[in-house]
Amino acid sequence: MNNQPPDPGLEELIGRKLRTLPERKAPASLRANVFAAIRARAARPWYQRAWFEWPRHLQVLSLVLFLGFSGALGWLITGHEVTLTSLSPVLAERVSSVGSEIGWFLNLMTAFVRAVPASYWMAALGVLAGMLFTCAGLGSAFYRFVVLDLRKD
Amino acid sequence: MSQLEEFETFMMNYQNMVFTTAVRLLGNETDAADISQNAFLKAFEHFETIRTSPTAGGWLKTVTTNLCLNHLQRYRNRWRMFSELRNEKEDESSFESDLAAEVPVDCLGEDERSILEKALARLPEAQRVPLLLYHFEDLSYEEIAARLRVSVGKVKTDIHRGRDALKTKLKLDAEGEPVGLRVGS
């Protein structure tokens, strides 16, 4: 790269000239556009806004619901008093049947995996990783250069 | 006075500064108007905090500059990825041919500031942006390099070329006086 030495005289001169430039007048439509955008934002329904902008009673309600749901989920996962059999014997039987089918399938897959040499699996994983990164890269590029562009236009 | 009325006064005080910052960095009035709008929407979001702040103008200018740099960065990325047809040298040579075509033989009748404003807008982005950040935002070469994610050497070279181009456009002599004026006086 051509790394030219700075010229203090020219720097001072151009700086001085640039500072004499007056401000440009903003277009007359700018204020109207900003206020239209502010009004459009204010008219959005609560569910299109960030949680912090929700009405207070909806914030409280959503918080209570979230805490209640989380608590119930935690109680179901960790509590031993409630089992699937006590809730529904028929459902428990079906789950058990599906479980045994899954077990059989897993045994079959394990036997298959052991039968194929490890180097083949490594190659397959490499191909899959390559495909994944290619898809992610193309998707990101498409979003950044096409979708964002279209939104702007 | 309601908040909206206060904000309108705030806008009237700063809209020319914001638009000027944007239009000089972007070199395009339409994009500058969009960026100015976004800057004021951000200001409205933080209006409770900035309405009484003595540094509101500085804050607004920084927000505008950042929005402009993000905008340019986005387009630069697109350009890098999808177009190998043009390069910086072509930009510069086309600018120089524009310069040759536009510089009047005798600029005595021209308003120097208007010529400078036009010349600034026609500078290639790579020269215009660092030049403006250096002279209007008072950023150092290192700070500009960090903001634009380029080397300090490139920043220095681009600023130097930009100044040279402006000097040519204004037909200035070593003392900064228009050559035509000196000759004529």
Answer whether B120 sits within 8 Å of A18, measured CB to CB.
Answer: yes
Are B157 and A3 spatial neighbours (Cβ–Cβ below 8 Å)?
yes
Domains parsed from chain B with CATH numbers: 3-82 (1.10.1740.10), 88-176 (1.10.10.10)
Q: Which residues of A touch B131 (CB under 8 A)?
A: 14
A21 at B interface, C-beta within 8 A:
yes
Confidence band of B105 (pLDDT split at 50, 70, 90) = very low
Mean pLDDT confidence for A129-140 = 92
Query: Which tokens go with A12?
Result: 């001072």
Give the separation between CA B162 and CA B171, rounded to whole angstroms.
14
pLDDT digits (tens, 9 = 90+) for B117-159: 888 888 888 899 999 999 988 899 999 999 888 899 999 999 9
Query: Is A134 a residue whose pLDDT tops 90?
Result: yes
Q: Which residues of A touch B172 (CB under 8 A)?
A: 13, 17
Helices (H), chain A: 8-19, 29-42, 56-78, 84-87, 89-115, 118-142, 148-152
Query: Is B181 a residue whose pLDDT tops 50?
Result: no
Look at A22-26, B41-45, B111-115 and tell me which has the smallest mean pLDDT: B111-115
Using alpha carbons, select from B60, B46, B58 the residue that is nearest to residue B138.
Answer: B58
The residue among A24, A146, A152 with the most chain B CBs within 10 A of its CB, best to mutate, is A24
Q: What is the nearest CA distance from A121 to chain B, expressed in angstroms? A: 34
Query: Which tokens go with A37?
Result: 């955008």
- Mean of pLDDT over chain A: 83
Which of A31, A38, A144 is opposite residue B77, by nearest beta carbon?
A: A144
Give the separation between CA B123 and CA B131, rounded to whole angstroms.
10
Distances (CA, A) of B72 to B58, B65, B109, B127, B157: 21, 11, 35, 13, 20
Look at A80-84, B55-59, B127-131, B171-175 and tell me which has the smallest mean pLDDT: B171-175
pLDDT at residue A85, rounded to an integer = 65
CB contacts < 8 A, A to B, total 107
Give the separation between CA A11 and CA A20, rounded to whole angstroms.
14
Q: What is the nearest CA distance from B174 to chain A, expressed in angstroms? A: 8
Q: Which residues of B touch A35 (CB under 8 A)?
A: 4, 8
**Position with higher pLDDT, B182 vs B124:** B124
**Position with higher pLDDT, A144 vs B18:** B18
pLDDT at residue B114, rounded to an integer = 83
**Position with higher pLDDT, A80 vs B28:** B28
pLDDT at residue B108, rounded to an integer = 36
pLDDT at residue B78, rounded to an integer = 62
**Position with higher pLDDT, A20 vs A153:** A20
Give the separation between CA B155 and CA B142, rounded to whole angstroms.
8
Answer whether A30 sits within 8 Å of B36, measured CB to CB.
Answer: yes
A32 at B interface, C-beta within 8 A:
no
Please state the length of chain A: 153
Half-sphere exposure in the Cβ direction for A111 (13 Å, CA): 6
Q: Which chain A residue is nearest to residue B77, measuring alpha carbons? A: A145
pLDDT at residue B62, rounded to an integer = 93
Look at A3-7, A18-22, B51-55 and tell me which has the smallest mean pLDDT: A3-7
Maximum separation of any 2 CA atoms in chain B, in Å: 58
pLDDT at residue A17, rounded to an integer = 83
B172 φ, ψ to 5°? Answer: -90, 150
Q: Can you name the residues that pair with B172 across neighbouring β-strands?
A: B178
pLDDT digits (tens, 9 = 90+) for A19-43: 888 899 999 999 999 999 999 988 8
Percent of chain A with pLDDT strictly greater than 70: 84
Query: Is B179 a residue whose pLDDT tops 60?
Result: no
pLDDT at residue B106, rounded to an integer = 40
Angle between helices B112-122 and B88-102 (to 10 degrees): 160
Which residue type does A54 have?
Answer: W
Query: Which tokens go with A119?
Result: 């180097």
pLDDT at residue B170, rounded to an integer = 76
Answer whether A148 sits within 8 Å of B74, measured CB to CB.
Answer: yes
Parse chain A into domains and list their residue ranges: 30-81, 118-153
Answer whether B18 sits within 8 Å of A26, measured CB to CB.
Answer: yes
Query: Is B174 a residue whose pLDDT tops 60?
Result: no
- Mean of pLDDT over chain B: 79
A26 at B interface, C-beta within 8 A:
yes
Mean pLDDT confidence for B44-65 = 91
Query: Which tokens go with A31?
Result: 């204020």
